[in-house]
Amino acid sequence: MKRFTAYLLIALWGFAATGCIDNDIPYPVEVLEITALEGEGFTLGPDDIDPAARTVTLRLDERIDLRRVTITRADFNHPQTQTSVPLVGTFDLRTPLYVSLSLYQRYDWQIVAEQTVSRSFTVEGQIGATEWDTENCIARVYVPEQGFDPTAVKVTSLKLGPEGCTTMTPSAEELTVFESVRYVDIVYHGDIRERWYLYVVPTEVTVTLTAADAWSGVIWLYGSGLSGAEMGFRYRRAGEESWTEVPDVQVEGGTFRARLRAVPETTYEVKAYCNEDETAPRSVTTEGVAQLPNAGLEEWCLLKDIVYPYPADASPFWGSGNPGAAIAGGAVLTDKCTDVRPGSEGRYSALLESTYANVAGIGKFAAGNLYTGTYVRNAGTNGIITFGRSFTLRPTALKCWFKYECGTVDRILSLPAGAQMEIGGPDNGAIYIALGTWTAEEYGTTEERGETIRVGTDDSPICIDTRNKGSFFNPRGKDVVGYGELILDYSVDEWREVTIPIEYVATDIRPTHVLVVCSASRYGDYFSGSTKSRMWLDDFELIYE
Protein backbone atom coordinates (compact mmCIF):
# COMPACT_ATOMS: atom_id res chain seq x y z
CA MET A 1 0.00 0.00 0.00
CA LYS A 2 1.35 3.38 -0.91
CA ARG A 3 1.50 6.21 1.56
CA PHE A 4 -0.91 9.06 1.03
CA THR A 5 -0.76 11.98 3.42
CA ALA A 6 -3.60 14.29 4.29
CA TYR A 7 -4.02 15.52 0.69
CA LEU A 8 -5.16 18.83 2.07
CA LEU A 9 -4.00 22.42 1.96
CA ILE A 10 -5.22 24.38 4.89
CA ALA A 11 -2.27 26.78 5.00
CA LEU A 12 -1.80 29.23 2.17
CA TRP A 13 1.83 30.25 2.51
CA GLY A 14 4.69 30.45 4.98
CA PHE A 15 6.96 27.92 6.56
CA ALA A 16 7.80 27.08 10.16
CA ALA A 17 10.35 24.64 11.54
CA THR A 18 9.76 22.21 14.35
CA GLY A 19 11.89 19.84 16.33
CA CYS A 20 15.48 20.02 17.51
CA ILE A 21 16.85 23.20 15.96
CA ASP A 22 20.05 25.07 16.78
CA ASN A 23 19.21 28.56 15.58
CA ASP A 24 20.96 31.29 17.52
CA ILE A 25 21.29 33.62 14.51
CA PRO A 26 18.62 34.69 12.06
CA TYR A 27 19.45 32.25 9.26
CA PRO A 28 16.64 30.94 7.05
CA VAL A 29 14.86 27.92 8.53
CA GLU A 30 15.30 24.81 6.35
CA VAL A 31 13.64 21.62 7.61
CA LEU A 32 16.01 18.90 6.37
CA GLU A 33 14.82 15.42 5.44
CA ILE A 34 16.18 12.19 3.97
CA THR A 35 14.01 11.62 0.90
CA ALA A 36 15.51 8.40 -0.53
CA LEU A 37 18.17 5.72 0.06
CA GLU A 38 19.31 3.18 -2.52
CA GLY A 39 21.48 0.14 -1.97
CA GLU A 40 21.80 -3.63 -2.12
CA GLY A 41 19.28 -6.11 -0.78
CA PHE A 42 16.68 -3.78 0.68
CA THR A 43 13.54 -1.93 -0.33
CA LEU A 44 12.40 1.50 0.78
CA GLY A 45 8.88 2.73 0.11
CA PRO A 46 7.32 6.12 0.83
CA ASP A 47 5.86 4.79 4.09
CA ASP A 48 9.33 3.81 5.30
CA ILE A 49 10.46 7.43 5.62
CA ASP A 50 8.86 9.02 8.68
CA PRO A 51 9.56 12.78 8.87
CA ALA A 52 7.80 13.03 12.25
CA ALA A 53 10.06 10.46 13.92
CA ARG A 54 12.95 11.34 11.57
CA THR A 55 13.41 7.64 10.91
CA VAL A 56 14.18 5.69 7.74
CA THR A 57 13.32 1.97 7.83
CA LEU A 58 15.11 -0.34 5.39
CA ARG A 59 13.23 -3.57 4.59
CA LEU A 60 16.02 -6.13 4.21
CA ASP A 61 15.90 -9.29 2.17
CA GLU A 62 16.35 -12.27 4.51
CA ARG A 63 19.60 -13.23 2.78
CA ILE A 64 21.32 -9.94 3.66
CA ASP A 65 23.76 -9.87 6.57
CA LEU A 66 22.56 -7.19 9.01
CA ARG A 67 26.19 -6.46 9.84
CA ARG A 68 27.00 -5.55 6.24
CA VAL A 69 24.26 -3.44 4.66
CA THR A 70 25.40 -1.44 1.64
CA ILE A 71 23.90 1.97 0.81
CA THR A 72 24.94 3.33 -2.58
CA ARG A 73 22.96 6.58 -2.74
CA ALA A 74 21.32 9.04 -0.34
CA ASP A 75 18.99 11.89 -1.37
CA PHE A 76 17.82 14.87 0.66
CA ASN A 77 15.17 17.55 0.23
CA HIS A 78 17.88 20.25 0.08
CA PRO A 79 20.90 19.87 -2.23
CA GLN A 80 23.30 21.53 0.24
CA THR A 81 22.50 19.19 3.14
CA GLN A 82 25.55 18.13 5.13
CA THR A 83 25.68 14.88 7.13
CA SER A 84 27.55 14.08 10.32
CA VAL A 85 28.59 10.71 8.87
CA PRO A 86 28.74 9.57 5.22
CA LEU A 87 25.60 7.71 4.23
CA VAL A 88 27.15 5.92 1.27
CA GLY A 89 29.02 2.80 2.34
CA THR A 90 28.58 -0.46 4.25
CA PHE A 91 27.02 -0.34 7.71
CA ASP A 92 26.26 -2.59 10.68
CA LEU A 93 22.51 -2.13 11.17
CA ARG A 94 22.03 -4.46 14.11
CA THR A 95 21.60 -1.15 15.91
CA PRO A 96 20.29 2.12 14.41
CA LEU A 97 22.62 4.33 12.37
CA TYR A 98 22.36 7.87 13.74
CA VAL A 99 23.06 10.82 11.46
CA SER A 100 22.64 14.58 11.83
CA LEU A 101 21.54 16.65 8.83
CA SER A 102 22.62 20.25 8.91
CA LEU A 103 22.55 23.43 6.88
CA TYR A 104 21.49 26.40 8.99
CA GLN A 105 20.01 24.13 11.66
CA ARG A 106 20.59 20.53 12.75
CA TYR A 107 18.12 17.64 12.50
CA ASP A 108 18.90 14.24 14.04
CA TRP A 109 17.74 11.21 12.03
CA GLN A 110 18.16 7.46 12.41
CA ILE A 111 18.31 4.63 9.88
CA VAL A 112 17.02 1.27 11.08
CA ALA A 113 16.75 -2.14 9.42
CA GLU A 114 13.88 -4.59 9.66
CA GLN A 115 14.36 -8.15 8.43
CA THR A 116 11.87 -10.99 8.42
CA VAL A 117 13.15 -14.54 8.01
CA SER A 118 10.58 -17.01 6.66
CA ARG A 119 10.63 -20.14 8.84
CA SER A 120 8.77 -23.44 8.73
CA PHE A 121 8.51 -26.59 10.84
CA THR A 122 5.68 -28.99 10.06
CA VAL A 123 5.10 -32.69 10.54
CA GLU A 124 2.75 -35.21 8.98
CA GLY A 125 -0.64 -35.30 10.72
CA GLN A 126 -0.09 -31.98 12.47
CA ILE A 127 -2.94 -30.25 14.30
CA GLY A 128 -3.24 -26.52 13.74
CA ALA A 129 -0.42 -24.09 13.04
CA THR A 130 3.12 -24.25 14.37
CA GLU A 131 3.80 -22.19 17.49
CA TRP A 132 6.92 -20.01 17.23
CA ASP A 133 9.05 -18.32 19.87
CA THR A 134 11.76 -16.81 17.67
CA GLU A 135 13.35 -14.87 20.52
CA ASN A 136 14.19 -18.11 22.33
CA CYS A 137 14.53 -20.25 19.16
CA ILE A 138 11.63 -22.57 20.01
CA ALA A 139 9.14 -24.19 17.60
CA ARG A 140 6.30 -26.45 18.72
CA VAL A 141 3.76 -28.54 16.80
CA TYR A 142 0.85 -30.64 18.01
CA VAL A 143 -0.26 -34.09 16.81
CA PRO A 144 -3.12 -36.44 17.78
CA GLU A 145 -2.34 -38.42 20.92
CA GLN A 146 -4.11 -41.49 19.60
CA GLY A 147 -1.75 -43.55 17.45
CA PHE A 148 1.22 -41.23 17.97
CA ASP A 149 4.63 -42.95 17.64
CA PRO A 150 7.42 -40.61 18.82
CA THR A 151 10.02 -42.77 17.05
CA ALA A 152 8.44 -42.46 13.60
CA VAL A 153 7.70 -38.75 13.09
CA LYS A 154 7.82 -37.49 9.51
CA VAL A 155 8.99 -33.89 9.20
CA THR A 156 7.35 -32.38 6.12
CA SER A 157 9.12 -28.98 6.16
CA LEU A 158 11.99 -27.44 8.08
CA LYS A 159 13.54 -24.01 7.48
CA LEU A 160 15.03 -22.14 10.41
CA GLY A 161 17.47 -19.63 8.89
CA PRO A 162 17.86 -17.26 5.91
CA GLU A 163 17.31 -18.72 2.45
CA GLY A 164 20.40 -19.89 0.55
CA CYS A 165 22.98 -19.29 3.28
CA THR A 166 22.04 -21.60 6.15
CA THR A 167 23.47 -24.99 7.09
CA MET A 168 21.48 -27.18 9.49
CA THR A 169 22.51 -30.10 11.72
CA PRO A 170 20.82 -32.55 11.81
CA SER A 171 18.88 -32.31 8.55
CA ALA A 172 15.10 -32.67 8.25
CA GLU A 173 15.52 -36.23 6.94
CA GLU A 174 17.42 -37.23 10.08
CA LEU A 175 14.74 -35.93 12.43
CA THR A 176 12.41 -38.87 13.03
CA VAL A 177 12.57 -39.43 16.79
CA PHE A 178 10.81 -36.88 19.04
CA GLU A 179 10.62 -38.68 22.39
CA SER A 180 11.73 -35.36 23.89
CA VAL A 181 12.94 -32.02 22.59
CA ARG A 182 15.20 -32.16 19.52
CA TYR A 183 18.06 -29.73 19.03
CA VAL A 184 18.92 -28.33 15.62
CA ASP A 185 22.05 -26.21 15.18
CA ILE A 186 22.14 -23.75 12.30
CA VAL A 187 24.93 -21.55 10.90
CA TYR A 188 24.39 -18.66 8.48
CA HIS A 189 26.43 -15.81 7.04
CA GLY A 190 29.50 -17.90 7.81
CA ASP A 191 29.74 -17.37 11.56
CA ILE A 192 26.28 -16.74 13.08
CA ARG A 193 25.19 -19.76 15.13
CA GLU A 194 21.84 -20.61 16.70
CA ARG A 195 20.48 -23.66 18.49
CA TRP A 196 16.78 -24.32 17.91
CA TYR A 197 14.52 -26.41 20.17
CA LEU A 198 11.87 -28.42 18.30
CA TYR A 199 8.92 -30.07 20.05
CA VAL A 200 6.28 -32.50 18.78
CA VAL A 201 3.51 -32.60 21.40
CA PRO A 202 0.68 -35.18 21.44
CA THR A 203 -2.77 -33.87 22.42
CA GLU A 204 -6.30 -35.22 22.82
CA VAL A 205 -7.84 -32.11 21.18
CA THR A 206 -8.12 -32.53 17.42
CA VAL A 207 -10.19 -29.47 16.53
CA THR A 208 -10.47 -25.96 17.96
CA LEU A 209 -12.60 -22.94 17.09
CA THR A 210 -9.79 -20.46 17.58
CA ALA A 211 -11.80 -17.28 16.88
CA ALA A 212 -15.23 -16.04 15.81
CA ASP A 213 -15.15 -12.29 15.13
CA ALA A 214 -18.64 -10.91 14.59
CA TRP A 215 -18.93 -7.65 12.62
CA SER A 216 -22.17 -6.16 11.28
CA GLY A 217 -22.77 -8.21 8.14
CA VAL A 218 -20.06 -10.86 8.42
CA ILE A 219 -18.63 -13.29 10.97
CA TRP A 220 -14.96 -14.24 10.52
CA LEU A 221 -14.30 -17.85 11.60
CA TYR A 222 -10.93 -19.43 12.38
CA GLY A 223 -10.16 -23.02 13.35
CA SER A 224 -7.37 -25.52 13.77
CA GLY A 225 -7.56 -29.23 13.08
CA LEU A 226 -5.79 -32.28 11.78
CA SER A 227 -3.81 -31.58 8.62
CA GLY A 228 -5.24 -33.52 5.69
CA ALA A 229 -8.58 -34.18 7.39
CA GLU A 230 -12.00 -32.81 6.46
CA MET A 231 -12.41 -29.51 8.30
CA GLY A 232 -15.02 -26.75 8.37
CA PHE A 233 -17.63 -24.78 10.29
CA ARG A 234 -21.36 -25.02 10.97
CA TYR A 235 -23.76 -22.31 12.11
CA ARG A 236 -27.35 -21.57 13.06
CA ARG A 237 -29.32 -18.60 14.31
CA ALA A 238 -30.09 -18.60 18.01
CA GLY A 239 -33.25 -20.62 18.64
CA GLU A 240 -32.97 -22.75 15.51
CA GLU A 241 -32.44 -26.51 15.73
CA SER A 242 -30.66 -27.44 12.50
CA TRP A 243 -27.08 -26.55 11.59
CA THR A 244 -25.93 -25.24 8.21
CA GLU A 245 -22.54 -25.77 6.63
CA VAL A 246 -20.44 -22.61 6.18
CA PRO A 247 -19.40 -22.39 2.49
CA ASP A 248 -16.02 -21.52 0.98
CA VAL A 249 -13.76 -22.70 3.79
CA GLN A 250 -10.07 -22.03 3.13
CA VAL A 251 -7.70 -24.69 4.46
CA GLU A 252 -3.97 -24.26 4.93
CA GLY A 253 -2.25 -27.21 6.55
CA GLY A 254 -3.81 -27.64 9.98
CA THR A 255 -5.62 -24.30 10.00
CA PHE A 256 -8.82 -23.23 8.28
CA ARG A 257 -10.93 -20.08 8.06
CA ALA A 258 -14.14 -18.80 6.49
CA ARG A 259 -16.24 -15.67 6.09
CA LEU A 260 -19.90 -16.15 7.00
CA ARG A 261 -22.34 -13.56 5.67
CA ALA A 262 -24.66 -12.57 8.49
CA VAL A 263 -27.54 -10.28 9.44
CA PRO A 264 -26.76 -7.24 11.63
CA GLU A 265 -27.79 -7.33 15.29
CA THR A 266 -28.44 -11.06 15.24
CA THR A 267 -27.19 -13.81 17.54
CA TYR A 268 -25.66 -16.92 15.97
CA GLU A 269 -24.16 -20.16 17.22
CA VAL A 270 -21.04 -21.43 15.44
CA LYS A 271 -18.79 -24.46 15.79
CA ALA A 272 -15.81 -26.03 14.05
CA TYR A 273 -15.37 -29.66 13.07
CA CYS A 274 -12.58 -31.99 11.98
CA ASN A 275 -13.71 -35.34 10.59
CA GLU A 276 -16.18 -36.61 13.22
CA ASP A 277 -15.03 -34.32 16.03
CA GLU A 278 -16.78 -31.02 16.77
CA THR A 279 -16.19 -28.14 19.14
CA ALA A 280 -18.78 -26.92 21.58
CA PRO A 281 -21.06 -24.23 20.06
CA ARG A 282 -20.05 -20.63 20.59
CA SER A 283 -22.59 -17.79 20.68
CA VAL A 284 -21.76 -14.51 18.92
CA THR A 285 -23.88 -11.44 18.15
CA THR A 286 -23.33 -9.24 15.11
CA GLU A 287 -23.02 -5.47 15.39
CA GLY A 288 -25.45 -2.88 14.06
CA VAL A 289 -25.01 -0.59 11.07
CA ALA A 290 -24.70 3.17 10.76
CA GLN A 291 -24.05 5.72 8.02
CA LEU A 292 -21.94 8.86 8.04
CA PRO A 293 -23.86 12.04 9.00
CA ASN A 294 -24.72 14.26 6.03
CA ALA A 295 -23.62 11.41 3.74
CA GLY A 296 -25.72 12.89 0.93
CA LEU A 297 -23.94 16.25 1.26
CA GLU A 298 -27.27 18.07 1.38
CA GLU A 299 -26.59 20.23 4.42
CA TRP A 300 -24.47 23.40 4.15
CA CYS A 301 -24.25 26.76 5.84
CA LEU A 302 -22.57 30.14 5.46
CA LEU A 303 -20.96 31.55 8.61
CA LYS A 304 -19.02 34.81 8.48
CA ASP A 305 -18.82 34.45 4.69
CA ILE A 306 -17.23 30.98 4.93
CA VAL A 307 -18.94 27.90 3.45
CA TYR A 308 -19.18 24.87 5.76
CA PRO A 309 -20.43 21.34 4.87
CA TYR A 310 -22.91 21.08 7.76
CA PRO A 311 -25.99 22.90 9.11
CA ALA A 312 -25.38 26.03 11.17
CA ASP A 313 -27.11 24.57 14.23
CA ALA A 314 -25.48 21.09 14.12
CA SER A 315 -22.25 19.63 15.44
CA PRO A 316 -19.76 19.49 12.55
CA PHE A 317 -18.89 16.09 11.10
CA TRP A 318 -17.29 17.11 7.80
CA GLY A 319 -14.72 19.86 7.35
CA SER A 320 -12.81 21.55 4.53
CA GLY A 321 -9.96 23.98 3.91
CA ASN A 322 -12.34 26.88 3.33
CA PRO A 323 -11.53 28.68 6.61
CA GLY A 324 -7.86 28.81 5.65
CA ALA A 325 -8.51 29.77 2.05
CA ALA A 326 -10.87 32.54 3.14
CA ILE A 327 -7.94 34.78 4.10
CA ALA A 328 -6.90 34.85 0.44
CA GLY A 329 -9.62 37.13 -0.82
CA GLY A 330 -12.46 34.79 0.17
CA ALA A 331 -11.40 31.80 -1.94
CA VAL A 332 -13.81 28.84 -1.73
CA LEU A 333 -12.27 25.39 -2.21
CA THR A 334 -15.34 23.31 -1.38
CA ASP A 335 -18.97 24.27 -1.95
CA LYS A 336 -22.39 22.81 -2.61
CA CYS A 337 -23.35 22.19 -6.24
CA THR A 338 -26.70 21.54 -7.92
CA ASP A 339 -25.16 19.00 -10.32
CA VAL A 340 -26.23 15.78 -8.56
CA ARG A 341 -25.75 12.13 -9.44
CA PRO A 342 -28.37 10.32 -11.59
CA GLY A 343 -31.45 9.25 -9.68
CA SER A 344 -30.64 11.41 -6.67
CA GLU A 345 -33.49 12.60 -4.50
CA GLY A 346 -31.30 15.36 -3.12
CA ARG A 347 -30.59 18.87 -4.35
CA TYR A 348 -26.86 19.14 -3.82
CA SER A 349 -23.51 17.48 -4.29
CA ALA A 350 -20.08 18.74 -3.19
CA LEU A 351 -17.71 20.47 -5.63
CA LEU A 352 -14.01 20.50 -4.74
CA GLU A 353 -11.90 22.95 -6.77
CA SER A 354 -8.14 23.39 -6.65
CA THR A 355 -6.87 26.92 -7.16
CA TYR A 356 -3.97 29.31 -6.72
CA ALA A 357 -4.88 31.45 -3.74
CA ASN A 358 -3.34 34.93 -3.85
CA VAL A 359 -3.41 38.00 -1.67
CA ALA A 360 -1.10 41.03 -1.69
CA GLY A 361 0.95 39.45 -4.46
CA ILE A 362 1.76 36.34 -2.38
CA GLY A 363 0.10 33.04 -3.11
CA LYS A 364 0.25 29.28 -3.06
CA PHE A 365 -1.53 26.33 -4.55
CA ALA A 366 -4.63 25.19 -2.66
CA ALA A 367 -6.46 21.89 -3.18
CA GLY A 368 -10.23 21.49 -2.99
CA ASN A 369 -10.90 19.06 -0.16
CA LEU A 370 -13.46 17.45 2.12
CA TYR A 371 -12.68 15.41 5.24
CA THR A 372 -14.16 14.10 8.47
CA GLY A 373 -12.80 16.48 11.07
CA THR A 374 -12.52 20.12 12.02
CA TYR A 375 -10.59 23.14 10.84
CA VAL A 376 -9.25 24.36 14.18
CA ARG A 377 -7.52 27.63 13.40
CA ASN A 378 -4.92 29.48 11.39
CA ALA A 379 -1.36 29.37 12.71
CA GLY A 380 0.10 32.50 11.20
CA THR A 381 -0.19 31.77 7.50
CA ASN A 382 -0.55 28.03 8.09
CA GLY A 383 -3.44 25.97 9.37
CA ILE A 384 -4.19 23.39 12.03
CA ILE A 385 -6.98 20.84 11.66
CA THR A 386 -8.09 17.65 13.37
CA PHE A 387 -8.89 14.42 11.55
CA GLY A 388 -11.36 11.65 12.37
CA ARG A 389 -14.75 11.21 14.02
CA SER A 390 -15.85 8.69 16.67
CA PHE A 391 -16.94 5.42 15.07
CA THR A 392 -16.72 1.83 16.34
CA LEU A 393 -18.30 -0.25 13.57
CA ARG A 394 -16.39 -2.15 10.85
CA PRO A 395 -17.77 -1.55 7.34
CA THR A 396 -16.26 -3.58 4.53
CA ALA A 397 -16.35 -0.85 1.87
CA LEU A 398 -17.15 2.79 1.14
CA LYS A 399 -19.46 3.54 -1.77
CA CYS A 400 -19.95 6.97 -3.34
CA TRP A 401 -20.69 8.79 -6.58
CA PHE A 402 -18.09 11.06 -8.17
CA LYS A 403 -16.93 12.95 -11.24
CA TYR A 404 -13.39 14.18 -11.74
CA GLU A 405 -11.80 16.77 -14.00
CA CYS A 406 -8.10 15.88 -14.00
CA GLY A 407 -6.08 19.02 -14.65
CA THR A 408 -2.53 19.28 -15.96
CA VAL A 409 -0.02 19.88 -13.17
CA ASP A 410 1.05 23.53 -13.14
CA ARG A 411 2.27 23.93 -9.56
CA ILE A 412 4.93 21.91 -7.72
CA LEU A 413 6.46 23.22 -4.53
CA SER A 414 7.44 19.90 -2.93
CA LEU A 415 6.41 16.24 -2.88
CA PRO A 416 6.52 13.40 -0.34
CA ALA A 417 9.35 10.89 -0.57
CA GLY A 418 8.87 8.53 -3.49
CA ALA A 419 6.05 10.51 -5.11
CA GLN A 420 6.06 10.93 -8.90
CA MET A 421 4.64 14.14 -10.38
CA GLU A 422 5.89 16.60 -12.99
CA ILE A 423 4.80 19.85 -14.57
CA GLY A 424 2.64 19.08 -17.58
CA GLY A 425 1.65 15.65 -16.27
CA PRO A 426 -1.75 14.63 -14.90
CA ASP A 427 -2.85 15.68 -11.42
CA ASN A 428 -4.19 13.04 -9.00
CA GLY A 429 -7.53 13.08 -7.26
CA ALA A 430 -7.94 11.00 -4.12
CA ILE A 431 -10.69 9.48 -1.99
CA TYR A 432 -9.74 7.35 0.98
CA ILE A 433 -11.25 5.89 4.13
CA ALA A 434 -9.38 4.77 7.22
CA LEU A 435 -10.51 3.28 10.51
CA GLY A 436 -8.23 3.22 13.51
CA THR A 437 -7.64 3.39 17.24
CA TRP A 438 -6.04 6.83 17.41
CA THR A 439 -5.98 8.83 20.64
CA ALA A 440 -5.66 12.57 21.11
CA GLU A 441 -2.91 12.00 23.66
CA GLU A 442 -0.66 10.38 21.04
CA TYR A 443 -1.83 11.97 17.77
CA GLY A 444 -3.44 15.24 18.80
CA THR A 445 -0.53 17.49 19.77
CA THR A 446 1.51 20.19 18.05
CA GLU A 447 4.21 22.69 18.96
CA GLU A 448 3.51 26.35 19.77
CA ARG A 449 6.35 28.66 20.81
CA GLY A 450 8.43 25.73 22.00
CA GLU A 451 5.61 24.16 24.01
CA THR A 452 3.59 21.04 23.23
CA ILE A 453 -0.14 21.74 23.14
CA ARG A 454 -3.03 19.35 22.60
CA VAL A 455 -5.36 20.17 19.72
CA GLY A 456 -6.99 16.81 19.10
CA THR A 457 -10.13 15.81 20.96
CA ASP A 458 -11.70 12.51 21.96
CA ASP A 459 -14.06 12.87 18.99
CA SER A 460 -11.46 14.09 16.46
CA PRO A 461 -8.06 12.94 17.75
CA ILE A 462 -5.52 13.43 14.93
CA CYS A 463 -3.83 16.84 14.65
CA ILE A 464 -2.58 17.87 11.20
CA ASP A 465 -0.32 20.92 11.37
CA THR A 466 0.66 22.08 7.89
CA ARG A 467 3.90 23.52 9.27
CA ASN A 468 5.03 19.99 10.06
CA LYS A 469 5.01 17.32 7.34
CA GLY A 470 5.61 14.73 10.01
CA SER A 471 2.05 15.26 11.23
CA PHE A 472 0.52 14.20 7.89
CA PHE A 473 -1.60 11.05 7.97
CA ASN A 474 0.12 7.72 7.32
CA PRO A 475 -2.28 4.94 6.20
CA ARG A 476 0.24 2.32 7.30
CA GLY A 477 0.59 3.74 10.79
CA LYS A 478 0.52 1.34 13.73
CA ASP A 479 -2.99 2.31 14.84
CA VAL A 480 -4.66 2.03 11.42
CA VAL A 481 -7.15 -0.85 11.57
CA GLY A 482 -8.59 -0.65 8.04
CA TYR A 483 -7.87 1.34 4.88
CA GLY A 484 -9.18 1.75 1.34
CA GLU A 485 -8.46 4.29 -1.40
CA LEU A 486 -9.28 5.47 -4.90
CA ILE A 487 -6.57 7.40 -6.77
CA LEU A 488 -7.47 9.13 -10.05
CA ASP A 489 -4.99 10.33 -12.69
CA TYR A 490 -7.61 10.63 -15.41
CA SER A 491 -10.86 12.51 -15.95
CA VAL A 492 -14.30 10.99 -15.37
CA ASP A 493 -16.76 13.19 -17.22
CA GLU A 494 -19.99 11.47 -16.20
CA TRP A 495 -21.22 10.57 -12.73
CA ARG A 496 -19.81 7.19 -11.72
CA GLU A 497 -20.58 5.03 -8.71
CA VAL A 498 -17.54 3.41 -7.08
CA THR A 499 -17.13 0.90 -4.25
CA ILE A 500 -13.82 1.20 -2.37
CA PRO A 501 -13.01 -2.02 -0.45
CA ILE A 502 -11.53 -1.62 3.02
CA GLU A 503 -8.61 -3.87 3.88
CA TYR A 504 -8.23 -4.63 7.59
CA VAL A 505 -5.02 -5.58 9.37
CA ALA A 506 -6.97 -7.99 11.61
CA THR A 507 -10.57 -8.99 12.22
CA ASP A 508 -10.49 -8.88 16.03
CA ILE A 509 -9.66 -5.17 16.49
CA ARG A 510 -12.51 -2.71 16.98
CA PRO A 511 -11.80 0.82 15.70
CA THR A 512 -12.54 3.95 17.67
CA HIS A 513 -12.66 6.49 14.81
CA VAL A 514 -13.31 6.81 11.08
CA LEU A 515 -11.49 9.09 8.67
CA VAL A 516 -12.70 9.95 5.15
CA VAL A 517 -10.61 12.32 3.04
CA CYS A 518 -11.32 13.54 -0.51
CA SER A 519 -9.15 15.90 -2.54
CA ALA A 520 -9.18 17.25 -6.07
CA SER A 521 -5.36 17.32 -5.85
CA ARG A 522 -3.73 14.48 -3.97
CA TYR A 523 -0.58 16.43 -3.04
CA GLY A 524 -2.30 19.66 -2.11
CA ASP A 525 -0.72 19.58 1.33
CA TYR A 526 2.64 19.84 -0.44
CA PHE A 527 1.31 22.79 -2.49
CA SER A 528 1.50 20.73 -5.68
CA GLY A 529 -1.10 19.88 -8.32
CA SER A 530 -3.26 21.53 -10.96
CA THR A 531 -5.32 24.70 -10.65
CA LYS A 532 -7.73 23.11 -13.16
CA SER A 533 -8.62 20.00 -11.12
CA ARG A 534 -12.18 19.63 -9.89
CA MET A 535 -14.00 16.78 -8.12
CA TRP A 536 -17.73 16.30 -7.59
CA LEU A 537 -18.96 14.01 -4.79
CA ASP A 538 -22.41 12.73 -3.85
CA ASP A 539 -24.10 10.13 -1.63
CA PHE A 540 -21.51 8.35 0.51
CA GLU A 541 -22.61 4.94 1.80
CA LEU A 542 -20.87 2.49 4.14
CA ILE A 543 -21.22 -1.14 3.06
CA TYR A 544 -21.25 -3.90 5.69
CA GLU A 545 -21.62 -7.09 3.62
Q: What is the pLDDT of residue 525?
A: 84
Q: What is the pLDDT of residue 25?
A: 46
* Residue at 24 is within a domain: no
Residue 345 shares a structural domain with residue 484: yes
Q: How many domains does the chain have?
A: 4
Q: What is the pLDDT of residue 323?
A: 87
Q: What's the pLDDT tens digit per position in 94-147?
A: 999 999 999 988 999 999 999 999 999 999 999 999 999 999 999 999 999 999
Residue 180 shares a structural domain with residue 327: no
Number of C-alpha atoms within 13 angstroms, CB side, residue 208? 13
Residue 388 shares a structural domain with residue 536: yes
Residue 258 shares a structural domain with residue 336: no
pLDDT beyond 80 at 210: yes
Q: What's the pLDDT tens digit per position in 144-181?
A: 999 999 999 999 999 999 999 999 999 999 999 999 99
Residues contacting 4, CB < 8 A, separation 6+: 430, 432, 473, 475, 485, 487, 522
pLDDT beyond 80 at 188: yes
Residue 241 shares a structural domain with residue 154: no
Residue 491 shares a structural domain with residue 505: yes
Residue 386 shares a structural domain with residue 424: yes
- Average pLDDT, integer, range 308-328: 87
* Residue at 153 is within a domain: yes
Q: What is the pLDDT of residue 265?
A: 97
* Residue at 268 is within a domain: yes
pLDDT beyond 90 at 441: yes
pLDDT band at 328 (very low <50, low <70, confident <90, very high): low
pLDDT beyond 70 at 3: no
Its domain, for residue 65, covers 34-115
Instruction: Give the torsion sign (CA, 434, 439, 442, 447).
Output: positive
Which of 285, 309, 333 is a domain's end point? 285
Which of 59, 85, 115 is a domain's end point? 115
> What's the CATH code of the domain at 234?
2.60.40.10
* Residue at 26 is within a domain: no
Which of 116-130, 309-323, 367-381, 458-472 holds the top average pLDDT?
Answer: 116-130
Q: Spell out the long-range contacts of 276-284 with Cβ–Cβ below 8 A and sequence spacing 24 or more.
A: 277/206, 277/207, 278/207, 278/234, 279/207, 279/208, 279/209, 279/223, 282/209, 282/212, 283/238, 284/212, 284/214, 284/219
Residue 220 shares a structural domain with residue 138: no
Residue 357 shares a structural domain with residue 490: yes
Which of 285, 315, 331 is a domain's end point? 285
pLDDT band at 20 (very low <50, low <70, confident <90, very high): very low
pLDDT band at 4 (very low <50, low <70, confident <90, very high): very low
DSSP state of 230: -
pLDDT beyond 80 at 12: no
Residue 392 shares a structural domain with residue 533: yes
- Average pLDDT, integer, range 472-486: 91
Q: How far apart are the first and last CA of the chain?
A: 23
Residue 332 shares a structural domain with residue 409: yes
The average confidence (pLDDT) of the chain is 90
> What's the CATH code of the domain at 133?
2.60.40.2340
Pairing assessment for the beta strands 445-448 and 49-50 based on DSSP bridges: unpaired
pLDDT band at 11 (very low <50, low <70, confident <90, very high): very low
* Residue at 414 is within a domain: yes
Strand partners, 487: 430
pLDDT band at 71 (very low <50, low <70, confident <90, very high): very high
* Residue at 15 is within a domain: no
Residue 228 shares a structural domain with residue 321: no
pLDDT beyond 60 at 360: no
* Residue at 5 is within a domain: no
> What's the CATH code of the domain at 411?
2.60.120.890
* Residue at 28 is within a domain: no
